[in-house]
A and B are shown apart, each in its own frame.
Chain A
Amino acid sequence: MTVITDALCPFCGCLCDDLTIVVEDNKITDVKQACKLGTAKIMGHHRIKAPMMRKDKNSEFTEVSYEEAINEAAKILSNSKRPLLYGWASSVCEAHKKGILLAEELGAIIDNTATVCHAPSTLAVHEKGLPSATLGQIKNRADVIVFWGSNPVHAHPRHMGRYSVFAKGLFTEKGRKGRKVIVVDVRKTETANMADEFVQVQQGSDYLVVSALRSILSGHADVVPDTVGGVPKEQLIKIVEVLKTAKFVSIFFGMGLTQSKSMYKNIDNAISLTFELNSFTKCVITPMRGHYNVTGFGQVCAWETGYATAVDFARGAPYYNPGETAANDVLLRKETDAAMIIAGDAGAHFPADSVRHLARIPVVQIDPYWNPTTEVSNVVIPVAICGVEVAGTAYRMDGVSLRMRKMVEPAHPPDTEILEKITERVRELRGE
């Protein structure tokens, strides 16, 4: 029996690094400290056993060797005029680097799961920057916590305990008792139930509500109508007072902002509110990132290409224009003629029309699990699970990088190895 302490959790953007894992005979038998999400992933699920291929999408898969699958994957990609390499969030930065190199060599588009999550936040960062802080800064200092369009009880279960609502630090010895918690959402979630102040916004009206708060903050309460986006003016005035008189405000936002009407403009506005609050107090804003290493892909892609996501290498040099080069854009325009989906599940998480196009073109899947993407794939290459069976780098939602540990020996090769081999084979096929 081996006990691994201070292990990292490969589930959400909290990237908790205090797990204890018990391993017996190369099997994980116990996970301590992890939440329900982390435990479920680490304890494991049914896996794809061996590489599989099929002629057309309606026939059954047959098991093949890794060599055959890699060869077919390389053929599909090198024959493609407009390949899309999508996913990446459930893998480590070491794989991202290899993926970007492959995209470069293929002249492909590379995009990650942020495209259906926080990519609009990146657009807002282009406009306004991002005044943020590490999570420990918030734990030690924040006396007002705002969750806007995010539901950590469900999506980031340990966030409130480790970093925000309940966390105790040097200047926050009282933990929850010393803090005010404001939750802004369209429905009364479990997170909202824990709030001191719940602000119920009419769906799609977040932008208006942020604007009203900014107006009140800048001394123009007189122009604010009696209700804004379903929120009474008195409540908005009260909230501004709480924010202004705080010692340290931390705003966390989720897909309630990025996916609602106005999309990146919601975040743009929220960042402006953050900026302006700094005339009165200290205020920072942080996106609640979903996958444990969706942040890492953005970091690697930025330092390798200059852009965080949705990079098109068709010109030999990086080109970036979400709305044109993001995964759903090229699928909906039926521009993509082959796709490699890795460490992300477009089949489950893209709109039906995008999946319909995937069902029409050759698709290579690299993933440990059978999922909707498998259903539309031609070649399926199972790999080891990063952060459980493979060590590597991941970036927490606040941009802090950590090294994931290997808990058990894998039965499958790591995705880095598969990517390397596909790249080599692509070069051979192209006579390079």
Chain B
Amino acid sequence: MTLNAILITGRTINQGATIENKTSLDYQEATAYCELNPKDIGILGISPGSCVSVTTDHGDVVVKLKENKGNPDGLAFIPMGPWANAVVNPDTRGCGMPGFKGIPSRIEPTEKKVLSMKELIARYK
């Protein structure tokens, strides 16, 4: 039911195609998801499209589950953007760059819904 995974974030073409349109549902759909391989999805016991909560030492976020056969076991991918950045490691470790890749995370099925961009940012105010 719970998966410990290493989280990476990065670009995707749909994230890029909607990057100037961040108030749209298209952008949310392009960025508010977490990819795992089928085996890891099996561990969670839910199907793609369900919501998962991703928790790290730095925060938590709810995103949709998505399948990517290219991921190795235990590797989670969330497209770069506000949902991913809710849980990345802010520490720049002396060189200015926060930790956007290689973050230990806990992934669990959740009943909670994905927050909209505005709701997500409102959490910081």
Contacts and interface: CB of A to CB of B under 8 A. Distances in A.
Interface of A: 11-12, 36-37, 40-41, 45-46, 57-58, 115-116, 119-120, 123, 151, 153-155, 157, 186-189, 192-193, 200, 202-204, 255-256, 258-261, 263-264, 290, 310, 322-323, 325-329, 332, 345, 347-356, 358-359, 368-372, 375-376
27 contacts: A36-B17, A40-B21, A45-B20, A115-B96, A115-B97, A116-B97, A116-B100, A154-B11, A186-B8, A192-B70, A203-B8, A256-B10, A259-B100, A260-B101, A264-B97, A326-B97, A329-B92, A329-B96, A332-B91, A348-B22, A348-B81, A350-B85, A358-B124, A368-B20, A370-B23, A372-B82, A372-B120
Nearest to A291: B19
Contact of B96 (A119, A189, A349, A359): A119
A181 to B, nearest CB: 16
B22 A369 contact: yes
B34 to A, nearest CB: 13
Interface string B67-101: 01111100101001110011111111111111111
B122 A263 contact: no
B103 to A, nearest CB: 10
Contacts of B9: 259
Contacts of B88: 351-352
A350 B101 contact: no
B124 to A, nearest CB: 5
A349 B70 contact: no
A189 B69 CA distance: 9
B125 A371 contact: no
Given A328-B92, A376-B121, A41 B13 contact: no
Contact of A255 (B81, B89, B100): B100
A347 to B, nearest CB: 6
Contacts of B90: 328, 332, 351-354
Contacts of A255: 10-11, 100-101
A348 B9 CA distance: 13
Contacts of B118: 375
Given A369-B22, A376-B125, A323 B69 contact: no
Interface of B: 6, 8-13, 16-18, 20-24, 58-59, 68-72, 75, 77, 80-82, 85-102, 117-118, 120-122, 124-125
Q: Is chain B's binding surface mostly helix, strand, loop or mixed?
A: loop
B124 A355 contact: yes
B109 to A, nearest CB: 22
Contacts of A45: 20-21, 24
Contact of A323 (B21, B81, B95): B95
A258 B92 CA distance: 12
A258 B97 contact: yes
B74 to A, nearest CB: 9
Nearest to B69: A188
A318 to B, nearest CB: 16
Given A322-B96, A372-B22, A57 B125 contact: yes
A351 B89 contact: yes
B92 A256 contact: no
A203 B13 contact: no
Contact of B121 (A151, A186, A258, A375): A375
A193 to B, nearest CB: 8
A45 B120 CA distance: 22
A58 B125 contact: yes
Given A188-B70, A203-B101, A371-B23, A153 B92 contact: no
B102 A261 contact: yes
A379 B88 CA distance: 28
B89 to A, nearest CB: 7
B92 A323 contact: yes
A352 B87 CA distance: 7
Contacts of B21: 40, 45-46, 369
A97 B13 CA distance: 31
